[in-house]
Amino acid sequence: MIDAPGGDPLYEDAACGLLLTQADGTILRVNRTFCAWLGRSREDLVGQRLDTLLTIGGRIFHQTHWMPLLKMQRSLSEVKLELKHLDGQRVPMVMNAVIRTRDGRDFHELAIFSARDRHKYELELLRARERAEEHLRNEQASQKALAEARAGLELAIDAAQLFQWSVQMPHRERQYDPSVALLLGYPDRRAIEPAEFTGRIVAEDRRAEASALDAFLNSPADRFQAVFRVLGVDGVQRWVASWGRLRSDASGSSTHLVGLLQDVTQSHRQRAEAEDRALLAEQTLGIVGHDLRNPLAAIQMAADILGLRVLDASQQVALGERIRSSTRRANRLIADLLDFTRARTGHGLGLSKTLVDGHAVARDVVAELATAHPGRSLQHTDIGDARMTADGDRIGQALGNLISNALTYGSPDTAVNVTSEGRTHSIRFSVHNQGTPIDPAMRPTIFEPMTRGESAGHLRSVGLGLYIVREIAVAHGGEVDYVSDEVSGTTFCIELPR
Amino acid sequence: MDIRARNNVQVSGEQAITMVFAHGFGCDQNMWRLLAPSFEQRFRILRFDHVGSGKSDLSAYDRTKYGTLHGYAHDINELLDEFVPGPAIFVGHSVSAMIGMLADLERPGRIIGHVMVGPSPCYVNDGDYVGGFERADIDELLATLKSNYLGWSSNMAPAIMGAPDRPELGTELTNSFCQTDPDIAAHFASVTFLSDHRSDLPRLHTPSLILQCSEDIIAPVAVGEYMHKVLPRSTLRIIDNVGHCPHLSAPSASAAAIEDFLHELT
């Protein structure tokens, strides 16, 4: 090419800059196209070294990267350079180069293309890459923040002993986190099938839980909430509170419910105990305030009468009997109240068992109450051998309560029949009276303390007496029950093991 | 850690003395392919790529460790531990001359001679000291590196031209040398061109050859003269060459100068 005839338009006006340099970069020949692109004359360029046309930064790059490459490969392609225009502007260019040896000397043949658009495009790519890298950094930062938040959430869930469950829409498939196994009494986390979980909800609560969830999913409110009991594989029944909230996708349709479960047995028990204590206080006050007032009022009245006028002998006897009867009732109430309080605060009734004869116990109580109620017919029947190991005083107390009730509620003109019956393994005491049967609605609560008659107007403390009867029966390992109807009247039975 | 893979270490020969060839910024161990063969007869040859260059393990590139030349010097001593049982002659191009010096100062006694090809202890002018560049030039270099993204990472060179004189360098190799990650190249460039190890020069008492090119914009003659003045046991040889890579553009003259130095040394 060094021999190419000057002025050849194919060379001079080629579609690219064409240069010939020595191995050290000194320009030997340059075409018109290149001169025009840089605004420089041929005289200006020939004899100069190519790298003087580069920026200083470009020169370092050229010397440290491209020149070694060219020397090793003896050719280069698509090297990007910025060359200085005469007016000081920089012209981005792309260079191909090849080393040719002529007469033992190396020459560099260069073809150089203007690359303004490619340069712009590359800058765009570079900026896009920087933006992408920034997005990546942001994304990584978000991921990190998310991971930290998740770790915090897991810690909170762990510390609060919460368990996760979910419901996938639209088919309402439940899913339970393996940790839910702990709630079901398993020693470790394990996969819990939805059917197993719902199967472990106690039967009374299962339908309520399912219908509450269905109702929530049919018309979602702020959040789902339910409390139910589950029977664990360890035999422990736990109270479980369940919460859930619906999540939606971008279009607003519900995708799933995220839920938490919590073992609220402890707080449930504490609340029940607190309610119990409040009830106990209320009941105690009720007994003291109402039931004790009646006998005290009767005694007060008797005392007033004694102070007002002189009485004849029969009147004195009658008044004395009224005072005795009221005092007995007050004493019984106080004894009941003490027993009741002991039983309710968990101290138990306290039995001292000895070998006793059930018939004798019944006979004594009947005799005592017959004296106290001279106008009433009270009969005792004994059947079989009624020897047993029991607390005779307590059994007497229970029978006394039943007989007092029978005298109070039975028709005054009919007898109250008391039977003590020795059976093979148990002793059965029954107290029967005629009269208006017990309202069937009272059956579920009749042995609960402070259960009273249907209207507050003529209530009386039946419940405390029956409560204590039941407590005594249970303390002996026995039970109490009753039958009541219009025809055969009312019979309470205590059945105790020998 | 597999140092051989980390630094793409290539060892040949069984001779007692090992010549360790360390490339400079911008390229890789391929740049020794014209010079190293001159010494294969008498020396064991070790060539490698700095971490972040050539075919080194890029995942080992740690911006903190390689934030100063000491990180690279530390690697040199690991290479000497692992692959050089006897004495070593350290041939370092450009910034690697300083890396070799730092390795020697860190663990003296293992390198018996330094061949410094186009070395510079400081590239930036500083008062009376002429390094060749202003700080702004270095910033411009970094900008240039950035905008030549494809120049570093391009694997797609179309190889439009043959290399008829050197068929062994097949066309498929075009632009395939000296590739690396552009971000690492930019970091290495700033660490290299902003380094200043002038104060370390007087502490090096190992015999050193300063191979200075007559015209080199990266390491001008003034820098070679400065080094010769400050470096205690140094020899300055100026080779008639334009450019920064005499081992490529003047391999014979370079080899001859090194032979002279080695002759005195060994």
Query: What is the distance between the alpha carbons of residues A429 and A364, in angstroms, rounded to a whole number?
Result: 14
The CATH fold of domain A9-114: Beta-Lactamase (3.30.450)
Identity at B99, one-letter amino acid code: I
Q: What is the reported pLDDT for A331?
A: 82
Indicate whether A417 pLDDT > 90. Answer: yes
How far, in Å, are B46, B69, B113, B230 from residue B101 at the CA level? 17, 10, 10, 13
**Burial (0-12, 13-18, 19+ Cβ within 10 Å), B173:** middle
Sequence-ordered list of residues with C-beta below 8 angstroms from that of A362, at least 6 positions apart, any chain: A380, A382, A399, A418, A420, A429
Instruction: Report the pLDDT averaged over residues A144-159.
Output: 89
The two tokens of residue B78 are 């690991």
Would you tell me how many other CB atoms lie within 10 Å of the CB of residue A135? 10
- To which residue do tokens 């001169």 refer? A35
User: Full-prediction pTM beyond 0.90?
Assistant: no
Q: Is B175 within 8 Å of A74 when comparing Cβ atoms? A: no
B-proximal residues of A, 74-93, CB under 8 Å:
74-80, 82
Interface test with B, best of A22, A50, A60 (most B CBs within 10 A): A60
Indicate whether B59 pLDDT > 70. Answer: yes
Q: How do strand A254-263 and strand A162-168 relate by DSSP bridges?
A: antiparallel
Q: How confident is the model at residue A197 (pLDDT cuts 50, 70, 90)?
A: very high
- The CATH class given to the A160-263 domain equals alpha beta
Indicate whether A335 pLDDT > 80. Answer: no
Indicate whether A458 pLDDT > 70. Answer: no
Residue in B149, B157, B244 nearest the CB of A126: B149
In chain A, what percentage of residues exceed pLDDT 90? Answer: 40
Please give the backbone phi and psi of residue A288, each rounded to the nearest 5 degrees, phi first. Answer: -65, -45
Q: B242 contacts in A (CB within 8 Å)?
A: 24-25, 49
Query: What is the distance between the alpha carbons of residues A316 and A322, in angstroms, rounded to a whole number?
Result: 10
Residue in B154, B165, B175 nearest the CB of A74: B165
Chain A: give the shortest CA distance to residue B195, in Å: 15
Q: B26 contacts in A (CB within 8 Å)?
A: 61, 63-65, 68
Sign of CA dihedral A144, A150, A154, A157: positive
Query: What is the distance between the alpha carbons of residues B124 and B181, in angstroms, rounded to a whole number?
Result: 25
- The CATH class given to the A349-498 domain equals alpha beta
Q: What is the reported pLDDT for A372?
A: 75
Instruction: Report the pLDDT averaged over residues A175-192.
Output: 92
Q: A123 contacts in B (CB within 8 Å)?
A: 147
Chain B: give the shortest CA distance to residue A40, in Å: 23
How far, in Å, are A148, A149, A175, A222, A255 from residue A178 at the CA level? 22, 21, 9, 26, 21
Instruction: Report the pLDDT averaged over residues B10-24.
Output: 95
Indicate whether B147 pLDDT > 80. Answer: no
The average confidence (pLDDT) of chain A is 86
Identity at B41, one-letter amino acid code: Q
Q: Is B244 a catalytic residue?
A: yes
Instruction: Report the pLDDT averaged over residues A412-430.
Output: 93
Range list for CATH 3.30.450.20 in chain A: 9-114, 160-263
Query: What is the distance between the alpha carbons of residues A22 and A19, in angstroms, rounded to a whole number?
Result: 10
Would you tell me how many other CB atoms lie within 10 Å of the CB of residue B25? 21
Q: Is B94 a catalytic residue?
A: yes
A-proximal residues of B, 223-262, CB under 8 Å:
242-245, 248-249
Chain A: give the shortest CA distance to residue B66, in Å: 19
> Does residue B174 sit in helix, strand or coil?
coil
Residue in B144, B152, B248 nearest the CB of A72: B248
Query: What is the distance between the alpha carbons of residues B149 and A28, in angstroms, rounded to a whole number?
Result: 31
Q: Which of B186, B191, B204 is nearest to B113 (CA)?
A: B204
pLDDT in tens, A249-281: 888 788 888 999 998 888 888 887 788 777 777
Which domains are present in chain B? 3-122+197-265 (3.40.50.1820)
Q: What is the reported pLDDT for A324?
A: 83
Q: Is B218 within 8 Å of A63 when comparing Cβ atoms? A: yes
- Residue in chain A closest to B139 (alpha carbons) equals A57
Report whether A63 contacts B218 (CB < 8 A): yes
Strand partners, A356: A388
Judged by a CB distance cut-off of 8 A, whether residue B177 touches chain A is yes
Indicate whether A288 pLDDT > 80. Answer: no
Q: What is the reported pLDDT for A450?
A: 62
Q: Is B178 within 8 Å of A69 when comparing Cβ atoms? A: yes
E strand segments, chain B:
10-12, 18-22, 44-48, 88-93, 111-117, 208-215, 234-242
- Report the run of H or E that residue A162 belongs to, with start and end: strand A162-168
Q: Which of B235, B251, B255 is nearest to B243 (CA)?
A: B251
Instruction: Report the pLDDT averaged over residues A198-209.
Output: 91
Judged by a CB distance cut-off of 8 A, whether residue B146 touches chain A is yes
Range list for CATH 3.30.565.10 in chain A: 349-498
Range with the poorest average pLDDT among A286-290, B2-6, B120-124, B171-175: B171-175
Q: Quickly count helices (H) and strands (E) in chain B.
A: 9, 7
Q: What is the reported pLDDT for B182?
A: 82
**Burial (0-12, 13-18, 19+ Cβ within 10 Å), A170:** exposed
Nearest-10 crossing angle of helices A293-308, A313-344 = 160
Domain at A265-347: CATH architecture:
Orthogonal Bundle (1.10)
Range list for CATH 1.10.287.130 in chain A: 265-347
Q: What is the reported pLDDT for A6?
A: 56
Decide which of B175 and B146 is more confident.
B146
Report whether A28 contacts A46 (CB < 8 A): yes
Of the residues B50, B74, B114, B244, only one is catalytic, namely B244
Residue in B24, B138, B162 nearest the CB of A64: B24
Instruction: Report the pLDDT averaged over residues B29-48.
Output: 94
Indicate whether A104 pLDDT > 70. Answer: yes
Q: Which residues of A122-133 are buried (b: 16+ CB within 10 A; e: fewer)?
A: beeebeeeeeee
Q: B36 contacts in A (CB within 8 Å)?
A: none
Instruction: Report the pLDDT averaged over residues A364-371.
Output: 84
Q: Is B247 a catalytic residue?
A: no
Residue in B25, B137, B178 nearest the CB of A57: B137
Query: What is the distance between the alpha carbons of residues A353 and A326, in angstroms, rounded to a whole number?
Result: 30
Judged by a CB distance cut-off of 8 A, whether residue B166 touches chain A is yes
The two tokens of residue A310 are 């002189």
Query: What is the distance between the alpha carbons of residues A71 and A66, in angstroms, rounded to a whole number?
Result: 9
Range with the poorest average pLDDT among A2-11, B99-108, B151-160: B151-160
Indicate whether A480 pLDDT > 50. Answer: yes
Q: What is the reported pLDDT for A159?
A: 84
Q: What is the reported pLDDT for A161?
A: 83
Chain A: give the shortest CA distance to residue B229, in Å: 25
Indicate whether A462 pLDDT > 50. Answer: no
How far, in Å, are B24, B220, B222 from residue B197 at the CA level? 16, 17, 16
Judged by a CB distance cut-off of 8 A, whether residue B190 touches chain A is no
Determine the straight-line distance between the first and last CA of chain B, rounded to whole angstroms.
34
Q: How confident is the model at residue B183 (pLDDT cuts 50, 70, 90)?
A: confident
Strand partners, A430: A419, A493
